[in-house]
Structure 1
Amino acid sequence: MSFINPFALLAMAAVAVPLFLHFFNLRQPRTVEFSSLAFVKELQASAVQRVRIKEWLLLALRMLAIASLGMAFAQPTLTSELGGVGASAPTAHAVVVDNSLSMSAEGRGGTYFDRAIQKAQGVLETVEEGDEALLWPTARSGARGLEPTTNTGVVRQSLAELEPRAGASSLAAAVGQAADAASQADTPQTVVSVVSDLQASTLGDSVAVEVPDGVQVQLLPVETRTQSNVSVSDVTVTSRIVEVDQPVQLEATLTNHGPDPLDDYVASVYLAGDRVAQATATLEPGLETTVSFTVTPQTRGWLDGAVVTEDDAVPVDDRHHFALHVPEERRVLMVRGEGQDTRYLDLALSSEMVADRIAFRTTAIDERELASAELGRYDAVLLAGPRSLSSGEVDALTRFVDRGGGLLLFPNAQARPEDYNALLGGLNAGSFRGFSGALSGDQTVASFEQVDLQHPLFENIFQKRRREEASVEQPDLYYIMNIRPSGRSGQTLIELSNGRPFLHEVRHGGGRLLLTAVAPTRAWSDLPVRGLFVPLLYRSVYYLSATPSVAGEQLGAGRPTELRVRGVPPEASVRLEGPDGVEVTPEQRTLFGATLVQVGTTLTTPGLYDAQAGSTRVRRVAVNVNPAESNLRAASPEDASERLRTATGASVRALAAAETDDLEETLRTRRAGTELWNVFLLLALVFLAAEMLVASQWVPETASS
């Protein structure tokens, strides 16, 4: 117990006054006894004893009444766990305000965030002279008030400027950071007040949070209600080949965070500002649903895209941004093998053939120049029958594929098996097992047995006669390379009648390798003069060059990550330009064929960001709301307290809803302790009333004659 007005205890000395008066009144004058009165003593013996008992009772009641009045004026309190030494101890108040996007949901009497601001203002009203205060939002944006200050006006101004935004940290992390900052204040005690909707999905993560010893944490929950909300957690471009006036397949993942199923729910796709597709689905509560769309881009370049859902409780997550890349041109490096006839490839990829139709920019070099080529500058590399590959070239090609490049390999009849096998082994593609047939022969050694028509490479190549069938042209094959796939990461797209692959795909790292069993010359087959050759070559180049660039990366707002950006000119730095004029120049370093950009927590505004190198846009990145913020389910105050206590190791106590009705008074009481002056005042009145009752009912005792 402590006393707010301890000097009033001096008045307790007045308790001795009735005692003094009592003993003073006991003094009797000396009496002379007469024999005729002796018998009276015997008659009054028992009456005198009863009188003394009543006198002592009145004395006790008067002393207790005075003592209770003295205690009431001293204002005793039962010291709370937050107060420690009562109201006289200076305190550092850290006010953690949850301004994550979930706080924008509508509640009773406004949004959750409106209620949070009112509660935070109530906390600041309890700041007294000698105290310090700071404001710590969960989603920071360079706001003032991140250091303790005695000027609460600065903190109030920062509070007024707050608004819900993306990129909020977990509540546990914010508590730890605020406690650490508040502990720097020169005060004997620190109290962290957390105003939040206690969203269960963002309370904490696996990262341990340290809170300084002695810091007390109190939760001030904002009243919430069950809300219906649908979020888009992911958008994927499933088509690997994206071209103008060609259909592109998209998939969006929708999650119903509400308690009820949603029938015929509508989601739309916007491309370059126009709605281009729409789909409906039934969304079960708490489950993810994949919705498919087909869009047809009309222009080249990086196109702004968004999947938009119906209006609901949290408007900020109703639009999920993505970027669709229709390349202005595809940079292709063709490596001519020594002694290899590449005239059919040269003709097919010539500017006359691709002008105004296909955006290829082909650079041709001889095999001996491969070692010095900067592969990172190209989207796809065509190895047109290399005779040999050095270990350095094998390593460079392997890294190129691993980091997202596409590689197309045509064989050479004079190839060194050990060189080819070194490359195939580095990509987990299997091995080269010699040749079958005869060069410039006239006898077909194999034919197409099976074609995987479901693969995106063959989309719209073959003419379909019926719904499930397609007409596949059969070239004459005279001489073929025998490929033995590894079976681990490969897929045969065209299988020959002898069981060997004619066209085989291998996925490695972020890129792909396509292996062909014949060289593009008439000596191996008549494929170069068939109608299949040019479409198959174009689709292969499309497919390989699209590996890293069909869509831009999708980042979480405020979440640190890395970007590998290709096509950055030497000595140029990458900067990110986003919506509302946001511009960031992150840390970066040059790697093999790319620039590694370290994106920190600065991208907090959802939208599309352009990666600029000088005046050139080299990439477009989508920043979206963290999906965890879309789940509005709130934890109970008890559960939230336990989870924060486990995450931080601090003493955490939640205020009940009834205690927050008069928050300022509740906090003052909790800080100073539970005041007992009213209890002692009531006791004083009770004792005085009892004294009056006893005194009024006391009839003096008389002796009968």
Structure 2
Amino acid sequence: MSFLNPILFAALAAVAIPVIIHFINFRKPRKIAFSTLAFFQELQKSTIRRLNLKRYLLLALRVLGIAMLVTALARPFLPPQISGWLGASSGQQVIALLIDNGPSMMQIDEAGPYMDQAKTAAREVIEQSSDDARFLIVPSHGEVESGRIMRRAEALRYLEDLEPLNKGGYPAERMRLLQERLADQPGQSGHAYWISDARKTHLQKFKDNYNNDDPESEHSVTFIRVGDDSFQNISVASVELTDHVLGEGIPVGVAVTVKNFGDQPAYNSYLSLEIDGERMGQYDVDLEAGQEKELLFEVIPESPGTIGGKAILEGGTYTFDHKRYFSIDVPESRNVLLIGDEGEDRSRRSYLKPVLDAVSETGTRVKAETTDMRNIRDHELDNFDALILESPEQIPDYLQAELVQFVQQGRGLFFVPSEKGSMSEYNRFLSQFDAGSYSGMRGTYGRFEEVASFQPLSEGHILLDDVFQSDEDELRIDMPTIYHYLRYDRDAGTSGTSLLRSNLDEPLFVEHRFGDGMILVGTMGFSPGWSNLSIKPLYAPLVYRMILYAVAWEQGGVREHTLGRSFDRQFADIGTSVTMKLNGDEIRPETASGGQGLRVRYPAVEWSPGWLEMNLDEKKYVIAVNQDISESDFTSLSITETEEFLEESLSLAGVLDITGYSESEIRTAMADISFGREIWSLFIIIALAFMIAECIISKTYKTETGADKQA
């Protein structure tokens, strides 16, 4: 017999309570002198003997009752071999094992590789189970190749083939699968083991995603922790573009973040950037414990199309996360639709159309079309990369719904308010994008009284970088005067970036990401009643860059799939032919066409880092596939922390630490916890029996007999 919670035997100290009470109540009879003592002395001896017997019997029953209750709390059980001999188990036993085979299991401590320790523990559980036991082995990462109930020999062969994988981790999904398979075995007893290095990010992912609709049917789980404390690990954490304007011959900045996840400094590493197989530069990298650095590279696209790149880190012990893939989509042209509102009398003039016309006529990368709000249905919005909504007094509900889908699918929307527009209607529209709200106004439209000006622009501003040449940090530009603009508030909890601000430090143009796309919200229009911007030299380049910014919604890393999630993307294109390849291997996804375009889905459990190439008819997409950065953090939880972490989600039988154990020690530990049948209820029954006996004896046991009284 063994115990799942032996630490609770400390509660045996409670047996001292009835003993203490016994000695407190123990008092010797007081002697009283009497002339004739023979009869009374004999009666006294007989009574004392009976009284002492009763007291010692009640004391023993109380002590034994408490001891049985404490033993029940320690959860005694019989190993499978013994429970089988005694006929304790009903039906065949099914043992399920969830084995962590993520990248962190590549670590090595004094007892050997983590994965080998996990396999040794699993092997001992299998070999020490009863002869008729059946087994289910489920890995935490990658695909589940078997997923069926196996006999001992087959389970051992499957176990030997398990290796650490740099693929997606699915701890919650795999635990649900394990519990469902156990529940599908009627008439059979079952128990589950989870063998892992107790990595914090791994367990957090489990806690965030695991739920059981029927907790009462859940089988208990024993968690077995392998491996020593966390080791040093550095990785490429992210790759992003610093520039939103992409085009042939235009320099683009690539920011690579490198992080040290360990508690020791890391030196003598090197970071390089590779574009289409060509190295673009290299940095020496030294990182203190927990430090991260952002390193910048410059790339100049030579032609339109998709550029495949990767950041490569050299140095360190564990290299699975030393490459991070990204893609840069350099457009040949971008299609923009300007949606104006001429007003009921058709007198309103567009101040953006001349800029777009000039852009289209000079052979730039932007192809622009214009239309009026009344004729919007004559255009297929999916044919455009960005929409400019210039000064609408109202936005019809049907168009609002289409614009929300347009941005969600990864496109840009540039919203410019009208002086005649309703702020409440505008706010209702912006709320659908979580894009803040207008809260008032400054100045009066058309009065031409200065209320503010543009905030001075610094060299390298995101909208004007490389437009002006200057040797100073601040550009010497005659900043436009503002006569009227709307005051704007970002809602709490929403993200947004102010691209331009007034000298009162209030936003003039704010970018908000929504879905896969972006909405650029203006607080002022471009007609003279708002400001004198339209007559300034700054006007044309500023508006041109704003339009480019709106259409440049694709960034390196935005089109990225993170391992550990199913692939589920919506594409505006409705193609008749869809092909996918990951690292050269062909993939057959599930597709569905609908009003929002083409939906492409695939489980992606077997995917590894690389580039996913998709062809929808004649259009090509390249998506970077990278491991979840949480896999790089090897920080583990202690036994106490692990137990507290998991008992909220699981029916936890116990947590066992085999850190540093040899094979023989692991064998012994597994023999102790190899689950047979819990018998704590038997000890509860015995304790109740002792308590009932104590009550009966205390009421019925007499210190004198009837004969004694008569005498």
Given the two structures, how large is their TM-score scaled by the length of structure 1?
0.68
1:470 pairs with 2:475: yes
Whether the 8 Å CA contact 2:220–2:650 is kept in 1: the answer is no
Task: Please state if 1:192 is matched with 2:192.
Answer: yes
Counterpart residue type for residue 240 of structure 1 = H
Question: Does 2:247 align with 1:249?
Answer: no
**Closer, same or farther in 2 for the Cα pair 1:646/1:377, shift >3 Å?**
same
In structure 1, give the amino acid aligned to 2:303: T
Larger Rg: 1
CA RMSD of aligned residues (A): 4.5
Contact map agreement 1:322 1:554 (CA 8 A) in 2: yes
The one-letter code of the counterpart of 1:308 is I
Aligned residues: 572
Unmatched segments (≥5 aa) in structure 1: 3-77, 439-443, 674-705
Question: Which amino acid in 2 is paired with 1:628?
Answer: S
Deviation at 1:141, TM superposition (A): 0.9
Instruction: Tell me, in whole angstroms, the C-alpha distance in 2 between the residues paired with 1:189 and 1:526.
Output: 78
Task: Tell me whether 134-143 or 386-395 shows the greater mean CA deviation.
Answer: 386-395
Q: Aligned pair in 2 of structure 1 residues 650, 201: CA closer, same or farther (>3 Å)? A: same
Q: Does 1:333 align with 2:337?
A: yes
Query: Structure 1 192/335 Cα, relative in aligned 2: closer, same or farther at 3 Å?
Result: closer
Q: Look up the match of 2:609.
A: 606
- Find the partner of 2:366 among 360, 369, 373: 360
Equivalent residue for 1:302? 306
Q: 1:420 and 1:401, CA in 2 relative to 1: closer, same or farther beyond 3 A?
A: farther
1:493: which partner in 2?
500
Q: Percent identity?
A: 20
Query: Which one-letter code corresponds to 1:249 in the other structure?
Result: G
Q: Does 1:579 align with 2:583?
A: yes
Deviation at 1:643, TM superposition (A): 4.0
Contact 2:336 2:384 in 1 (8 A): yes
Contact 1:483 1:500 in 2 (8 A): no
Change (3 A) 1:214 1:614: closer
The letter for the 2-side match of 1:610 is: E
CA distance in 2, matches of 1:199, 1:508: 32
Aligned-partner residue type, residue 518 of structure 1: F
1:133 aligns with 2:135: yes
Residues in 2 aligned to 1:560 and 1:459: alpha-carbon distance in whole angstroms: 39
Question: Is the CA contact 2:455–2:505 (under 8 Å) kept in the aligned structure 1?
Answer: no
* Residues 451 and 484, structure 2, Cα contact 8 Å, conserved in 1: no
Deviation at 1:348, TM superposition (A): 1.1
Q: What is the aligned partner in structure 2 of residue 652 from structure 1?
A: 654
SS in 2 for 1:463: coil
Q: Does 1:436 align with 2:442?
A: no
Matches within 5 A, 1:417-432: 417-418=420-421, 422-423=425-426, 426-427=429-430, 428=437
CA distance in 2, matches of 1:239, 1:658: 53
Q: Secondary structure at the match of 1:544?
A: helix
The answer to whether the 8 A contact 1:455-1:493 is kept is no
Secondary structure of 1:457's aligned partner? coil
Taking a change above 3 Å as real, the CA distance of residues 527 and 171 of structure 1, as seen in their structure-2 partners, is closer
Secondary structure of the 1:241 match is: coil
Instruction: Report what 1:85 is aligned to.
Output: 83
Measure the CA separation in 2 of the matches of 1:550 and 1:214: 44
Q: What do the CA deviations read for 1:453-477 (whole angstroms, capped 9, x no partner)? A: 353111111221x3213243678x9
The structure-2 alpha-carbon separation of the partners of 1:288 and 1:561, relative to structure 1 and needing over 3 Å to count, comes to farther
1:495-548, Cα deviation, whole Å (9 max, x unpaired): 59xx89996446474321346643599xx97958x7655433431221111135
Match of 2:383 in 1: 377
Letter of the 2:472 partner, please give it: R
For 1:359, give the aligned amino acid: R
Alignment of structure 1 residues 434-583 onto 2, 5 Å: 435-436=445-446, 450-453=455-458, 455-464=461-470, 466-472=471-477, 482-488=484-490, 491=498, 493=500, 504-505=509-510, 507=512, 509=514, 510-514=518-522, 517-519=525-527, 532=538, 534-549=540-555, 551-560=557-566, 562-565=568-571, 567-569=572-574, 572=576, 576-583=580-587
Partner of 1:19: none
* Other structure's SS at 1:485 match: strand
Q: Which amino acid aligns with 2:149?
A: P
Deviation at 1:353, TM superposition (A): 0.9
Deviation at 1:589, TM superposition (A): 6.0
TM-score (norm: length of structure 2): 0.67
Q: Aligned AA for 2:78?
A: S
Quote the Cα distance in structure 1 between the aligned partners of 2:590 and 2:191.
36
Give CA-to-partner distance per residue, 1:136-188, whole Å, 9 cap, x none: 111241401x22233x3433443344332245546576455424424544675
- Cα distance in 2 between the residues matched to 1:200 and 1:409: 44
Q: What aligned pairs does 1:51-450 form with structure 2 within 5 A after superposition?
A: 80=78, 85-86=83-84, 90-107=92-109, 111-126=113-128, 129-144=131-146, 146-150=147-151, 152-167=152-167, 169=169, 174-175=174-175, 177-185=177-185, 188-203=188-203, 204-206=206-208, 207-208=210-211, 215=219, 217-224=221-228, 226-263=230-267, 265-280=269-284, 282-335=286-339, 337=342, 338=346, 340=349, 344-345=354-355, 347-350=357-360, 352-354=361-363, 358-383=364-389, 392-393=398-399, 396-397=402-403, 400=406, 405-408=411-414, 417-418=420-421, 422-423=425-426, 426-427=429-430, 428=437, 435-436=445-446, 450=455
**Conservation of the 8 A alpha-carbon contact between 1:79 and 1:86:** no
Are 1:552 and 1:620, in contact at CA under 8 Å, matched by a contact in 2?
no
- Cα distance 1:191–1:380, how it changes in 2: closer, same or farther (>3 A)? closer
Question: Taking structure 1 as reference, are residues 102 and 422 closer, same or farther at Cα in structure 2, changes over 3 Å only?
Answer: same
Could you give the per-residue CA deviations for residues 172-227 of structure 1, whole angstroms, max 9, x where no partner exists?
Answer: 76455424424544675324344333323323413345777695544554344652
Q: Whole-Å Cα distance in 2 between the matches of residues 469 and 304 of structure 1? A: 35
Tell me the alpha carbon deviations over residues 222-253 of structure 1, each in whole angstroms, 9 at most, x when there is no partner. Answer: 34465220133333323222233333233344
- Residues in 1 aligned to 2:111 and 2:674: alpha-carbon distance in whole angstroms: 28
Tell me if the contact between 1:322 and 1:621 (Cα under 8 Å) persists in the aligned partners: yes
SS of residue matched to 2:654: strand
Letter in 2 for 1:143: E
Q: For 1:135 and 1:176, how far apart are their aligned partners in 2?
A: 13
